[in-house]
Amino acid sequence: MEGAESFAAPVLALSGDQYRAIVAHCYDGLPDEACGLLAGRVDAGGEPTGQVTTVYPCTNADASARTYTVDSRDLIRAMRDAETRHDELVGVWHSHTHSDAYPSDTDVRQAMEPHWLYVVVSLRHAEPVLRTFRIRDGSVTECEVVVTDS
Amino acid sequence: MPVEVRLPTLLRPHVGGAASVTADGATVGDVFHELIDRHPDLGGNLVDDDGQLHKFVNVYRNDDDIRYLDQLDTKVADGDVISVLPAVAGG
């Protein structure tokens, strides 16, 4: 198992409600992959602090069990909503219905936002597994996830 | 008439680092052609080899996705803002 020293910054902090909203949307999307966006705070350098202010469940425009594309209209709505709250979009989450909670080759190839947090929720086992990654220049590093009570 | 085009972080290096640029045109496609003439590296990122909107970008006139309007033939007028966002996708 990885120790805490192997995690990249930041720590993704989700409230219990946010965590449950993400996982519920993933199950609702079955048999297809589900996806959504995260808004939160960024530091002076534009890096997410890890604090999430809003979770936006989105439509998977691919309607596929193998790929996802966040519906373009959901994307602009979430971005504008975040702007009105003085937040920014800081990440995306999606489900893997039959594989582990780790970015696929497709996820790495199509990761366009080096500042974002990429959350993957695996539904392959009885209990969901949620993990978070940074994907930069084709390299993947994991971030710690903390779910707080709410 | 000049139209503002807002670019995502990923494409800004192709225009000298600017977050937004202006270009003339009556349609989104015209505006893109003028931009690509000035900044050729943008070309392959906005439009594919067939001259269609690249599938990895979303383009909005104001906040309306042009795929649901008239694609690159979507008309633009003075004061409109074209926003380009990378598609958020994976597998």
Tell me: the pLDDT tens digits for B12-31?
999 999 999 999 999 999 99
The three-state DSSP-derived secondary structure of B22-86 is EEECCEHHHHHHHHHHHCHHHHHHHECCCCCECCCEEEEECCEEHHHCCHHHCECCCCCEEEEEE
Delineate the domains of chain B, giving CATH numbers in brackets: 2-86 (3.10.20.30)
Per CB-CB distance under 8 Å, the chain A contacts of B67 are 72
Of B8, B10, B60, the CB nearest to A76: B60
* Chain segment B62-77, per-residue pLDDT in tens: 999 999 999 999 999 9
Delineate the domains of chain A, giving CATH numbers in brackets: 7-148 (3.40.140.10)
Predicted local distance difference test score (pLDDT) of residue A3:
47
Task: Tokens for A145, please give them.
Answer: 């996830």
- What letters, b where the CB count within 10 A reaches 16 and e where it falls short, cover B3-41? bebebbebbeebbeeeeebebebebbbbbbbbbbeebee
Between chains, do B91 and A79 touch, taking CB under 8 Å as contact? no
Cβ atoms of B89 and B12 within 8 Å: the answer is no
Between chains, do B88 and A106 touch, taking CB under 8 Å as contact? no
* Chain segment A59-114, per-residue pLDDT in tens: 999 999 999 999 999 999 999 999 999 999 999 999 999 999 999 999 999 999 98
Cβ atoms of A70 and A89 within 8 Å: the answer is no
pTM of the entire structure?
A: 0.91
For residue A136, is pLDDT > 90? yes
Predicted local distance difference test score (pLDDT) of residue A89:
96
Q: What is the ipTM of this complex?
A: 0.91
Interface test with A, best of B57, B74, B88 (most A CBs within 10 A): B88
Strand runs labelled E in A43-113? 48-58, 68-69, 88-96
For residue A5, is pLDDT > 60? no
